[in-house]
Structure 1
């Protein structure tokens, strides 16, 4: 179950929530296939400028930052490098589609692998 947490300035996010959620979901589906659409979770966190710092000072115009939680097993696949590259490229392109080319150079995507048996839904551990 792919989980994407996106942090960005509230002023950049306002009014673009639905479009961003749709484009990020489409980016994941482009890699995994249509079956994954219903499992993609996107959480958007809009921050005021005073709560985002870079280099010890408040950031002036930070690009969105994405934490992308996926199953750890993907990193052991023979095609792992290709999958990772496609996910990162797709997520970055989705963000650029919504916020413009000015953000591309600063968009960060962190893929975080979760081992099997370390996630639960509804109080039940997911083992596969």
Structure 2
């Protein structure tokens, strides 16, 4: 290939890449209900066909990083508006207010409202085979 294109710096910088490197890969899938709190969600009915694996979204990496770090990757999970932190605080606050465990539908209502606030489309896909 280099014989045909020459030996310029641009040609030397060319690399063979897959779909991801070429920008053609599917955007990554992300849990809307944080996977690290799976047990919490399972206690509220998110099992089987309603597993949190069924409530994932495809999202561009930049958008995903922004909701987890507020646009600053160094902040990571310490930013008060970070998705996992914010959604669990909202859910726990709602439970505390009612004095009982939220129902699955109540959880979904709070998650849906937060998704609108964070401009996350409600086009759910499966994250894994569940």
TM-score, normalized by length of structure 1? 0.28
Q: Which one has a larger percent strand, Structure 1 or Structure 2?
A: 1
Larger Rg: 2
